[in-house]
Amino acid sequence: MTRARLLPWLLGRSDLGERLLEIGAGAGAATAELRKRVPRVTSLEYDHALIERLAQSNGAGAGVVRGDAAALPFADRTFSSAIAVLVLHHLRSSELQDRTFAEVHRVLQPGGRLFAFEISDGWFNRFVHTKSTFVPVQPDALPARLTVAGFARVRLDPRPGGFRFTASRNA
Ligand SMILES: C[S@@+](CC[C@H](N)C(=O)[O-])C[C@H]1O[C@@H](n2cnc3c(N)ncnc32)[C@H](O)[C@@H]1O
């Protein structure tokens, strides 16, 4: 689903540049496909067990980093693009989401873009997440939140059940 449907819709033919940051890579549903599209992919994940799985499936040291999206362990202007698929609602508060936006902006190179996909708020998604974190991102508020983080050219695009958005760091 992620590889065949979601990533083509989210990324289209966008130029991701030379170095992509994958935030909240999970078990790697998108990772192999991203590695086909970009010369260097760094997959960030918070969970220890998932980090081990990712390292095994991608080869030791192959750009798998344990860390927190809200405190990125990378230097300013490291990445040409960043992607976050189904990650933001797992952050424990909207403040942590805002900190993540600011951190992603910091580590992007001028002109770099963030691509993200999120699920909508609603009873079904609240039910599915009763035993995990669900802090839904309200699409209407996103342009202002991303602008405060420093981003420009925010584009939002809904589809049933969720929405994609992109935002750019000014050149
Ligand atoms: C629903 S999974 C999505 C995984 C993957 N992006 C995909 O589409 O299959 C959300 C992932 O975000 C990770 N995550 C949650 N909070 C995080 C944080 N603060 N920093 C980095 N990763 C985080 C979780 O451990 C989980 O693997």
pLDDT band at 99 (very low <50, low <70, confident <90, very high): very high
Over residues 57-84, the mean pLDDT reads 90
Q: Are 81 and 112 in contact (CB under 8 A)?
A: yes
pLDDT at 41 over 70: yes
Does residue 88 have its Cβ closer than 6 Å to ligand 1? no
Position 61 scores a pLDDT of 52
Does residue 104 have its Cβ closer than 6 Å to ligand 1? no
Q: If you measure from the C-alpha of residue 54 to the centroid of ligand 1, how many angstroms do you get, rounded to a whole number?
A: 12
3-state class (DSSP) for residue 47: coil
Least confident of 6-20, 45-59, 84-98, 109-123: 45-59
Does residue 54 have its Cβ closer than 6 Å to ligand 1? no
Position 103 scores a pLDDT of 98
pLDDT band at 18 (very low <50, low <70, confident <90, very high): very high
Helical H segments across the chain, by residue range: 7-11, 31-37, 48-58, 94-107, 123-128, 142-148
Token duo for residue 155: 């584009």
Each residue's pLDDT tens digit, 42-70: 999 999 999 988 888 876 556 999 999 99
Q: If you measure from the C-alpha of residue 68 to the centroid of ligand 1, how many angstroms do you get, rounded to a whole number?
A: 10
Does residue 87 have its Cβ closer than 6 Å to ligand 1? yes
Does residue 41 have its Cβ closer than 6 Å to ligand 1? no
Position 59 scores a pLDDT of 62
Each residue's pLDDT tens digit, 111-169: 999 999 999 999 999 999 999 999 999 999 999 999 999 999 999 999 888 999 999 99
Q: Whose CA is nearest to atom 22 of ligand 1?
A: 24
For ligand 1, pick from 31, 86, 90, 117 the residue to mutate: most ligand atoms within 8 Å of CB.
90
